[in-house]
Amino acid sequence: MGRLLPLVALFVAGLSHAAEIAIDIGHTRAKPGALSASGVWEFDFNRTFVRALELQLASVGVGSHVINDSGKVGSLSGRTTLARKDRFFVSIHHDSVKQRYRPVKDPRFKGYSLWVSERNADYEGSVRCARLIADELLKARFQPSHYHSDAVYGENRPVVDWDRGIFSNNQLAVLAAARGPAILVEVGVIANPAEETVLSDPAMTEARARTIATGLQHCLAG
Ligand SMILES: [Zn+2]
């Protein structure tokens, strides 16, 4: 028995670094991403949302592993290395618009979007999970945004699934570097003052996180 204990300890230590879902907090404290309409950095929104998602995943029995909790992991490939033992990688972000459309008044700059990369090791698996997450978001009446696929209002990004708000961007290095299926979630548009108010509401954050957690649970079950 005495000889077995170190082996058991080694096994448990190995398990503690493997989770079903790696949840990446987008950006860093030093480079905090987009600025909201009221002047809050995207990193703060991302971190708050990841905490809510972690709780909601736990409540449906899905283990998660938060990446970049310190806000200091600047390297994107470093993030996927930290997640190398996890089954699925999801990076959490909040969206913005081109500078010339700020301050935002146009209602098209609103809603969630889900992103995949054809450079990912499991593109089909990534799209399948993005569809399952989008189905839950739509069921809960969250609306997708489409402006990134527009040549004028966005960047002409390829559409994977218009109705579900799924788009492709092969320049997203974190998705390309992930070793398994991976998606990037733009939870909503913080540059839009009306949507920022909703995204700042803890009850709404919990509702969105619960919805995405259910989608991820279905994704793993498949
Ligand atoms: Zn971002």
CA of 40 to the centre of ligand 1 (A): 13
What's residue 18's pLDDT? 66
CA of 93 to the centre of ligand 1 (A): 4
CA of 43 to the centre of ligand 1 (A): 8
CA of 112 to the centre of ligand 1 (A): 12
Residues 6+ apart with CB under 8 A from 188: 94, 95, 110, 111, 112, 195, 198, 199, 208
What's residue 222's pLDDT? 75
Q: What is the largest CA-CA distance in the chain?
A: 69
CA of 130 to the centre of ligand 1 (A): 18
In a domain, residue 26? The reply is: yes
In a domain, residue 6? The reply is: no
CA of 19 to the centre of ligand 1 (A): 23
What's residue 7's pLDDT? 45
Alpha-carbon distance 41 to 25, whole Å?
13
What's residue 19's pLDDT? 81
CA of 26 to the centre of ligand 1 (A): 6
Structure tokens at 81: 């290395």
What's residue 73's pLDDT? 96
**CA distances, 120 to each of 27, 115, 156 (Å):** 20, 11, 20
What's residue 8's pLDDT? 44
Closest to 208 measured CA to CA, from 190, 191, 185: 185
Alpha-carbon distance 29 to 177, whole Å?
22
CATH of the domain at 55: 3.40.630.40
In a domain, residue 88? The reply is: yes
pLDDT tens-digit series, residues 120-176: 999 999 999 999 999 999 999 999 999 999 999 999 999 999 999 999 999 999 999
Alpha-carbon distance 34 to 95, whole Å?
7
What's residue 2's pLDDT? 45
CA of 58 to the centre of ligand 1 (A): 25
CA of 210 to the centre of ligand 1 (A): 21
What pTM, to 2 d.p., does this model score? 0.91
State which residues form the domain around 150. Answer: 18-221
Q: Which amino acid is at 166?
A: I
Give the strand pairing for 166-168 and 113-116: parallel
Q: Within the chain, which residues score under 70 in pLDDT?
A: 1-18
CA of 35 to the centre of ligand 1 (A): 10
Q: How many domains does the chain have?
A: 1
Alpha-carbon distance 72 to 164, whole Å?
33
